[in-house]
């Protein structure tokens, strides 16, 4: 009997866990062994505290989590739907040039949900734990990789080796797998740092995601289910460092001015955390027996809240490619198989990276460019088909369909 192929996923972030869970619960669950390795333990969501790290998940990401069977638990635990998004620059959030997206305009109940990182990782790790042929190994740092004719041999710093028919690297923007295999990347640092915190406010966020383009970088206010808002404020790094070190009162005063009062007075904030920002794109996503996905393959500016959504589309694509290969009796680690995933995803990821990079640059241009920006926003607001297209992109529905996000098992069987 042929040996059961082993897929090792490096990284138990959301992208790695979702990829592993798709494979371990999908069409070929009984024909694959799936092992996830992470250097650190997976955080457990307890519910008594809001995780500072949250994601604006698109509808396509939600569908994908539904396919794995974990969305219901996410929604019941804590997920904040948002039905509107308002994007503006300048002092007035309601100026005619502001962009207003409303899910009702495209007949959808919402534009997406805000969900905590720890909650996503908890439900995905549990789904993996319940699967027959899956294993999550934490405290396992990859030290070296030797690619042989039929396997990749992964040596761990803690001792021991593991053999993979295919090694999927979802080990984040500083990917060890990418470095060990010397896979080249292009990119640049933004010299910006995102300051992330949650704030309480006197006015309701009204289920709206707010985004203001400021000269130093974009400021996002994401609505949370307990009425507070998650702040992602991208700033020149020196300014971010100053605000990270400031007292709560000083920070809230500066933030209040930046929010232009859209959620009223800011009354309290949680611990502030800084994320240095960069753009990065792997020139190749694949090598024999290896594929990069999520932030290991592409790291985008958080201004549109799409990094995780793109990573989850990678997960859907690579899982579908591997399952098709298993069903066709192919070697799942063969470069020609893994290249199918690269061909499906690279163009879209690169286009999104370039779009977010361009937007960040446009809005950081000096004052003279302001009319240009206002003109751009007004043009989008007035052109309904363009606006509709942007909304479809943000929802991830077009890419979801193309990249075989499996909408439901029933649909799959039909």
Ligand X SMILES: Cc1cc2nc3c(=O)[nH]c(=O)nc-3n(C[C@H](O)[C@H](O)[C@H](O)COP(=O)(O)OP(=O)(O)OC[C@H]3O[C@@H](n4cnc5c(N)ncnc54)[C@H](O)[C@@H]3O)c2cc1C
Residues that bind ligand X (CB under 6 A): 10-16, 37-40, 55-56, 141-142, 170-172, 176, 194, 196, 232, 275, 294-295, 302, 305-309, 311
Identify which of residues 5 and 294 has a Cβ nearer to ligand X in the complex. Answer: 294
Q: How far is the CB of 179 from ligand X (least distance, A)?
A: 9
Cα dist. 275→13, 44, 161 in Å? 16, 22, 33
Question: What is the enclosing helix (H) or strand (E) of 149?
Answer: none
Tokens standing for residue 54: 């949250």
Rounded to whole angstroms, the Cα distance separating 183 from 244 reads 34
Rounded to whole angstroms, the Cα distance separating 174 from 296 reads 7
Identify which of residues 93 and 312 has a Cβ nearer to ligand X in the complex. Answer: 312
3-state percent breakdown (helix, strand, coil) of the chain, nearest 5: 40, 30, 30
3 state SS of 160: coil
How would you class 71 by CB atoms within 10 Å of its CB: exposed for 0-12, middle for 13-18, buried for 19 or more? buried
Identify which of residues 80 and 326 has a Cβ nearer to ligand X in the complex. Answer: 80
Identify which of residues 12 and 24 has a Cβ nearer to ligand X in the complex. Answer: 12
Identify which of residues 201 and 211 has a Cβ nearer to ligand X in the complex. Answer: 211
Cα torsion 279, 111, 87, 351: sign: positive
Q: How far is the CB of 141 from ligand X (least distance, A)?
A: 5
Q: How far is the CB of 374 from ligand X (least distance, A)?
A: 26
Q: How far is the CB of 336 from ligand X (least distance, A)?
A: 25
The residues, ordered by sequence, that sit 6+ positions from 209 with a Cβ below 8 Å of its Cβ are: 56, 82, 84, 85, 86, 111, 114, 220, 221, 222, 223, 305
Rounded to whole angstroms, the Cα distance separating 74 from 342 reads 30
Q: How far is the CB of 305 from ligand X (least distance, A)?
A: 3
Rounded to whole angstroms, the Cα distance separating 375 from 240 reads 29
Q: How far is the CB of 19 from ligand X (least distance, A)?
A: 9
Identify which of residues 238 and 375 has a Cβ nearer to ligand X in the complex. Answer: 238
Identify which of residues 14 and 131 has a Cβ nearer to ligand X in the complex. Answer: 14
Q: How far is the CB of 328 from ligand X (least distance, A)?
A: 28
Give the ranges where 158-259 is alpha helix by DSSP (H): 176-180, 237-245, 248-259
């Amino acid at each position: 009997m042929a040996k059961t192929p082993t897929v090792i996923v490096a990284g138990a972030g959301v992208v790695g866990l979702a990829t592993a869970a798709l494979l371990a619960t999908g069409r070929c669950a009984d024909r694959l062994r799936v092992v996830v390795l992470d250097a650190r333990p997976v955080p457990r969501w307890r519910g008594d505290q809001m995780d500072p790290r949250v994601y604006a998940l698109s509808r396509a990401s939600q569908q994908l989590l539904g396919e794995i069977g974990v969305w219901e638990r996410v929604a019941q635990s804590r997920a904040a739907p948002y039905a509107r998004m308002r994007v503006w620059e300048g002092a007035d959030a309601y100026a005619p040039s502001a962009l207003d997206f409303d899910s009702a305009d495209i007949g959808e109940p919402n534009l997406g949900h805000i969900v905590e990182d720890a909650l996503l990782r908890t439900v995905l790790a549990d789904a993996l734990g319940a699967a027959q042929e899956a294993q999550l190994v934490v405290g396992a740092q990859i030290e070296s990789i030797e690619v042989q004719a039929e396997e990749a041999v992964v040596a761990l710093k803690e001792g021991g080796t593991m053999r993979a028919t295919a090694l999927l690297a979802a080990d984040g923007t500083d990917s060890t797998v990418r470095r060990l295999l010397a896979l080249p990347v292009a990119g640049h640092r933004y010299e910006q740092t995102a300051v992330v915190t949650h704030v309480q406010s006197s006015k309701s966020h009204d289920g709206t995601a707010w985004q203001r383009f400021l000269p130093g970088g974009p400021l996002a206010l994401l609505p949370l289910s307990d009425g507070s808002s998650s702040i992602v404020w991208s700033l020149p790094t020196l300014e971010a460092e100053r605000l990270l070190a400031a007292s709560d009162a000083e920070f809230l005063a500066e933030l209040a001015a930046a929010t232009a009062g859209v959620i009223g007075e800011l009354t309290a904030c949680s611990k502030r955390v800084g994320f240095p920002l960069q753009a990065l794109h792997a020139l190749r996503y694949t090598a024999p027996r290896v594929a990069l996905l999520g932030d290991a393959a592409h790291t985008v500016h958080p201004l549109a809240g799409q990094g995780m959504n793109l990573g989850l589309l990678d997960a859907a694509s690579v899982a579908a490619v591997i399952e098709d290969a298993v069903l066709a009796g192919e070697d799942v680690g063969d470069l020609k198989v893994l290249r199918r995933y690269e061909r499906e995803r690279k163009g879209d990821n690169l286009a999104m990276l370039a779009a977010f990079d361009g937007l960040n640059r446009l809005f950081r241009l000096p004052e003279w460019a302001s009319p240009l920006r206002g003109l751009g926003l007004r043009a989008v607001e007035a052109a309904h088909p363009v606006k509709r297209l942007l909304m479809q992109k943000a929802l991830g529905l077009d890419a979801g369909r193309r990249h075989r996000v499996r909408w439901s098992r029933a649909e799959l069987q039909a």
